[in-house]
Amino acid sequence: MTYDIVIRGGTLVTATGRFSADLAIEGERIAAIVTPGTPLDAVRVIDATGKHVIPGAIDVHSHHREPGYTHKEDIVSATSACAAGGVTTSFAMPNVQPPPNTVERLDAIIDLYNAKALVDWNINAAGTVPEEIPGLASRGIAAFKVFMVVDTGRDYPHMPGIGVHDHGKLLEIFETIEPTGVPLMVHPHDQALMGHIEEGFWARGERDALAYAKAYSAHDGIIWDTAAALLLRLQKATGTPLHLLHTQTTGVIEQLRTAKAAGQHVTAELNPWAVFLGNDWRNIERLGSYALSYYVPEKNTEPLWAALADGTIDLISTDHAPHTREEKEPGWTDGWKAHTGTPSTQFYVPMFLDAAVTGRLTLERTVDLLATAPAKAFGLANKGKLEVGADADIAIVDLDAELEITDAIVLSKIGHTPYAGKRVRGVVDTTIVRGRPVYENGGVTGTPGWGRQARPSR
């Protein structure tokens, strides 16, 4: 037979090992994995000599901004950045306008993705309207998302319809989601504590980005720790699978260890800003709001890497959150007026490959965190692995080449990155989504509409 593509000469890396092999693709699937040099007929041969072949990254937490905020990003620009970054599946967060908290709204957004996405995708529906939850769960979604953030006057898209802070309402949401079998992602946040902390900063006249950074990390991250404690207790009460977002404190790491040891159904993610950006105070002084997402005080860095290595943190997702310069600039004088969040989908795979090259994590664990574990956590049975029969979602990466991150190469609509100037070992050479190259030779080759909903099998 003649295969569509054969990738020759590379080293395949999975969550459990690495080996030299040639990989053949037929249609959308991996059709064969054979000893290097085995004669195979192919329409196209990709030479991966000296390179590593890994499953494409699966990002379960990304802000694509469409509909409603397309001046920041849209589905085409976000998924183009994914293609260039080795990301073959990206889940969109629901803080768009109108938010997908009803079946009608979700269906409209699904139509947009079917027409525009270059890579595979799903949409994390807002699980804030209990009567809509069963209907939303029937649309092939992989997760619900709820923010515990209640807007405190900032012009940031925490619009009505996506945030719930009332503990009773949160319990009702956990209870309603449980029979659907769909996991619930939550952004942990203690609004009452944050309100008090903010009042103190404002009373002292401290309002700039540095004050904002300190407020969110006050008392060793008390707003994160108390919210996580509530969420883990609600998980225990209801059995609803919980995916905890934004792991960044040692307090949350300790709670995760205890909950997992007790057999609770919880997964947790780390976002790249927690170990590459917001964990260095010098970045916050230099970049102000451009470095925030959140300040993650330096003493958390080593515990976070350890939690990534030992499985306490299950997976890496981006929290890709592009904002324009106009939306970031006010932070120099008022951090509460700047929009929170940092972009990363194009560069996080290279940054974590660099962490593998420099020995922070094994290459196998890195592949697990980026691809295999997210597929497993969200039921994507055919993704996140290099196996015969699996979707041919593949990134070919060069660990000997160096990438210099610059604003000029940013594909996100905003055209800037807080990681500009950073040099990392690990370049994405080629990205393949279900058998079709969507990025190669330094350019995006995918077409809008090729991406398909990555539906979980439950």
Between 225 and 319, whose beta carbon lies closer to Zn ion? 319
Between 201 and 273, whose beta carbon lies closer to Zn ion? 273
Site string for Zn ion, 268-307 (x = CB under 5 A): ----------------------------------------
In the complex, the smallest distance separating the C-beta of residue 87 from Zn ion, rounded to whole angstroms, is: 15
In the complex, the smallest distance separating the C-beta of residue 63 from Zn ion, rounded to whole angstroms, is: 6
Q: Which residues contact 39 (CB under 8 A, 6 or more apart)?
A: none
Stretch that binds Zn ion, among 157-165, 172-180, 314-322, 387-395 (CB under 5 A): 314-322
In the complex, the smallest distance separating the C-beta of residue 21 from Zn ion, rounded to whole angstroms, is: 37
Q: Alpha carbon of 109 to those of 101, 115, 414: distances in Å?
A: 11, 10, 22
Between 319 and 327, whose beta carbon lies closer to Zn ion? 319
Between 120 and 319, whose beta carbon lies closer to Zn ion? 319
In the complex, the smallest distance separating the C-beta of residue 76 from Zn ion, rounded to whole angstroms, is: 20
In the complex, the smallest distance separating the C-beta of residue 319 from Zn ion, rounded to whole angstroms, is: 4
Site for Zn ion in 233-272 (CB under 5 A): none
Site for Zn ion in 74-103 (CB under 5 A): none
Is the omega angle on the peptide bond into residue 303 within 30 degrees of 0, that is, cis?
A: no
In the complex, the smallest distance separating the C-beta of residue 321 from Zn ion, rounded to whole angstroms, is: 6
Q: How many residues bind Zn ion (CB under 5 A)?
A: 1
Q: Tokens at residue 331, please?
A: 């932070």
Asked if 46 and 74 count as a contact pair (C-beta separation under 8 A), the reply is no
Q: Tokens at residue 223, please?
A: 């707003």
Stretch that binds Zn ion, among 315-323, 355-363, 371-379, 399-407 (CB under 5 A): 315-323
Among 120, 208, 319, 429, binds Zn ion (CB under 5 A): 319
Between 314 and 319, whose beta carbon lies closer to Zn ion? 319
Q: Which residue is nearest to Zn ion (CB)?
A: 319
Site for Zn ion in 130-169 (CB under 5 A): none
In the complex, the smallest distance separating the C-beta of residue 197 from Zn ion, rounded to whole angstroms, is: 21
Stretch that binds Zn ion, among 52-60, 98-106, 191-199, 317-325 (CB under 5 A): 317-325
Between 100 and 435, whose beta carbon lies closer to Zn ion? 100
Binding site for Zn ion (CB under 5 A): 319
